[in-house]
Amino acid sequence: MNTFVTGRRLARELGEWRSSAPAYRSLADRIRVLLMDGRLASGARLPAERELSTALDLSRTTVAAAYSKLREDGYLASVRGSGSTLVLPGRERGEHATHQGLALDFTKATAPAYPGMAAAFAAAAEEMPCHLGHDGFDMVGLPDLREAIAQSYNDRGLPTSADQIMVTIGAQHALNLVTRTLYSPGERILVEQPTYPHALDTFATVGARILAFPVRAEGGWDLPEALLQIRRAAPSMAFLMPDFHNPTGMSMSIHEREYLAAAAQREGTVLVADETTAFLDISRGELPPLACFSPNVVTLGSLGKIAWGGLRIGWIRGSREILARLLRNRPASDLGTPLFEQLVATSLVRELPLLRANRSADLRRGRDTLVGLLAEHLPQWTVNVPDGGVSLWINTETISTSALALAARAEGLGLVPGPRFGLDGAFERFLRLPFCYADEQMSEGVAILARLSSRVGSDPLRMPLQAVI
């Protein structure tokens, strides 16, 4: 089912869209940015011209000209009586949109497969015939896998039993299930600012009202603001990434974990801790999981970052009461996690220390290489070097990353501009740049960025005409 975008929502997503270009051109280009970085979906129906002109305080003629430009460039399809629908060129021909025309795709912060992946698949193939007597509909997870996941928490100092674990089809599936279970219409959800974009997408699908509190390179998590939001609005849940936060790479201190967990528990807000990046340590050392400080924490985990994004296995750790609620809700969205992938995951979870050591070495090399390249070619940008994670969160100072992303795509480089990680157009001067790619790819990507930085200014959508796709 196609999504309808209201004029009010589009105005909010547009953020800082005006530039020195004509208004209709700036508006069209900004909508195109929202489509390409995922804030607006292909197939979404835009508001009527009159509605958007009112929301933006523009003339209807300007909006009509912007829509006309989008249609001319192939990004908008209009059918009489059905409105105007966004189109990502290439989708209608079955092409994978994120790779269309891109020699370098830095839109995904994900590393290559763990070298032991092939062996894990081979072992699972040998074991699979023993499970063919199973009905194939597994709503909670194979006992051996749940035991292995529970043991990984025990090893980190968090007492956990297998009946506190539910295996899911990746962490995004887990977040959707948790959100649909914990959230009720009309309630609020608290998030970090910036935050993981697909979490925002999930909350938007249920119509949640979003509250935010800042995460800053200087000062970390703004805990007084988080406490204020929790006390004022009593959100049903709060979503956060306490370990190697995406996109900043920062980690909560023990004090911050204790403070936030205690505050949320007092007010009855469930903390949903995304730990998909928790094993991506380079030089920080072990910290206790957030759930060590409160029983009012639901933890999401996954093998996607540390093993391979193609292995769609995740999990939820929570109280037995919450897991029972999740189990009641799960059949509405799926009928269980595939058994073969669970067998693969079981052997990988059992060798987590080896996976962590392997990934840490690769990430250290990539991080140091990318930091060096940026220091050489873009010394004017501010780079905070993280002690884990898979990407840098870069302050481009005066460069609009929306404009940069558009110009880079014309040269075959895919980027995610900073506003994709925030609310209401925030972080226009920030860029997430992954360091989990090969050295030659990162070198080529930085060379393109250095070349474009002199042509792309501070206007969100100001760029040379030849750079517009």
pLDDT of residue 101: 56
pLDDT of residue 465: 33
φ/ψ (deg, to 5) at 372: -65, -40
- Cβ neighbours for 402, distance < 8 A, ≥ 6 positions apart: 30, 33, 417, 419, 428, 460, 461
Domains of the chain by residue range: 7-93, 97-112+356-467, 117-354
pLDDT of residue 457: 63
Architecture of the CATH domain 97-112+356-467: Alpha-Beta Complex (3.90)
φ/ψ (deg, to 5) at 113: -65, 145
The DSSP code for 321 is H
As separate numbers, helices (DSSP H) first and strands (DSSP E) second, the chain gives 15, 17
pLDDT of residue 249: 95
> What CATH number matches the domain at 7-93, 3.40.50.1820, 1.10.645.10, 1.10.10.10, 3.40.718.10?
1.10.10.10
pLDDT of residue 92: 43
Spell out the per-residue pLDDT of the chain, length 469, in tens: 457 888 888 888 887 788 778 899 889 888 988 887 778 888 889 999 999 999 999 999 999 999 999 998 888 998 766 788 898 775 443 444 444 557 899 998 889 999 999 999 999 999 999 999 888 899 999 999 999 999 999 999 999 999 999 999 999 999 999 999 999 998 999 999 999 999 999 998 898 999 999 999 888 999 999 999 999 999 999 999 999 999 999 999 999 999 999 999 999 999 999 999 999 999 999 999 999 999 999 999 999 999 999 999 999 999 999 999 999 999 998 999 999 999 999 999 999 999 999 999 999 999 999 999 999 999 999 999 999 999 999 999 989 898 899 889 889 999 999 999 998 778 999 999 999 999 999 999 999 999 999 888 655 554 433 333 2
CA atoms within 13 A on the CB side of 296: 18
Tokens (6 digits) for 193: 């600012």
Using CA atoms, how far apart are residues 220 and 284, in angstroms rounded to an integer? 15
Q: Which fold has domain 117-354?
A: Aspartate Aminotransferase; domain 2 (3.40.640)
| Distances in whole angstroms, Cα of residue 403 to Cα of each of 17, 90, 399, 420, 426 | 10, 22, 8, 13, 14
- Cβ neighbours for 30, distance < 8 A, ≥ 6 positions apart: 14, 17, 402, 460, 461
**pTM to 2 decimal places:** 0.85
